[in-house]
Amino acid sequence: MPPLALYIHFPWCEKKCPYCDFNSHQIKDGIAKAGFEEDRYINALITDLETELPNVWGRQVHSIFIGGGTPSLLSAEGIDRLLCAVRARINLDPDAEITMEANPGSIEADKFAGFAKAGINRVSIGVQSFQDEQLKALGRIHNGEEARRAIEIATKHFKSVNLDLMFGLPKQSLEAAKADVVTALSFKTPHLSFYNLTLEPNTYFANFPPQLPNDDEVDAIFEQNLDLLTKAGYQRYEVSAYAQKNQECKHNLNYWRFGDYIGIGAGAHGKISFPDKITRQVREKHPEIYMKAMETKGNAIIESKILAPKDLPFEFMLNALRLSDGVPTNTFSERTGLPLNVISKGLAEASKKNLLDENPSQLKATALGMRYLNNLQEMFLD
């Protein structure tokens, strides 16, 4: 069986960002009125995990990721109760990476100390930018000074800290993008994520698009950022992720290597392999409906399907080609159960266009392939 991880979704935010297409629901007029009852939601998560145990019995979980939403809105006591319940029910690797996403606007020193004591050992902070004008344009609730303070607090409590930054922001100049990167590097966190702002369907920005830099300007920003990060000792190991040596995010690596993951919480997705099949599941998205389903039926799955063999090649390559080093060629058969020759046509076409490395022992995009990753991945569609 592939390595196994656990994803836990927290579906509430203090404010819905205009670019966000994740399953998140804005808290209005206080937490209680938004339907967020901490104990009730944690009880639902525990029940959700218990329903999945027969599918993963005996397998060890190597990483946990608590995402959202804004999980740092939870209390330290709530996180401690949740993680204690998880440890009591699954075989968790003693050295497991346990990550929590956090918003600079919801970070308090005492709360972070409590999270660390509960077992969180890695935190991912959604900074996006250090410039107040850009943060306001992105609809963020924090300012640059709060972002800096949050990072300083986090580095005191967690051995691993990731900073999320965006580029290609509304009216962003080359100089402004450089200033964000230089500021992020000054904290010397072991991991940085850089995402190009895109207009996702069903978001506010999709309906009311801001003025974004053109493609040439975005390319110039990216090349500048890459040079700055490389000179600072960060390796680009995935399309949007950069890390110091041996500081890659283990949980995300498991996704890109087509590993398995239990997904619990409102709107969570899961992927579980069996000797004869691979299944995907989706939970009810609305938090209130999700909690009621867990309380009344003990199950909130709204979609469960077996992946058809014809879909597996694209799903595998969609993930694996995001990694700068790719994956060993034999991983394809190990993860999909299919012979390599089912993608021979795509491999030949990609190599001919210099999008895929010609090393037969590795499935790896070239520098050109990483630049035009969508085109490369599409070559493996059915």
Tens digits of per-residue pLDDT, 48-101?
999 999 999 999 999 999 999 899 999 999 999 999 999 999 999 999 999 999
pLDDT above 50: residue 34: no
Q: What percent of the chain has pLDDT over 90?
A: 85
pLDDT above 90: residue 26: no
Distances (CA, A) of 249 to 142, 153, 205, 212, 369: 25, 20, 29, 30, 23
| Assigned domain for 266 exists | no
Structure tokens at 366: 């070239």
Which residues are within 8 A (CB) of 141 and not within 5 positions of it... i.e. 6 or more apart? Answer: 14, 15, 103, 105
- Where does the pLDDT of residue 252 fall: very low under 50, low under 70, confident under 90, or very high at 90 and above? very high
Which tens digits make up the pLDDT trace of 210-226?
A: 999 999 999 999 999 99
Give the residue numbers spanning the domain of 23: 4-254
Domain count, the chain: 2
Section 156-175 average pLDDT:
94
Which residues are within 8 A (CB) of 245 and not within 5 positions of it... i.e. 6 or more apart? Answer: 233, 235
Which tens digits make up the pLDDT trace of 111-143?
A: 899 999 999 999 999 999 999 999 999 999 899
14 with 85, same domain?
A: yes
pLDDT above 90: residue 202: no
pLDDT at 16: 85
248 with 317, same domain?
A: no
pLDDT at 27: 77
Report the mean per-residue pLDDT for the chain. 93
Under 8 Å between Cβ of 52 and 231 = no
| Assigned domain for 68 exists | yes
pLDDT at 20: 87
- Where does the pLDDT of residue 108 fall: very low under 50, low under 70, confident under 90, or very high at 90 and above? confident
DSSP string, 153-214: HHHHH-SEEEEEEEES-TT--HHHHHHHHHHHHHTT-SEEEEEE----TTSHHHHS------
| Assigned domain for 231 exists | yes
Section 255-278 average pLDDT:
96
| Assigned domain for 69 exists | yes
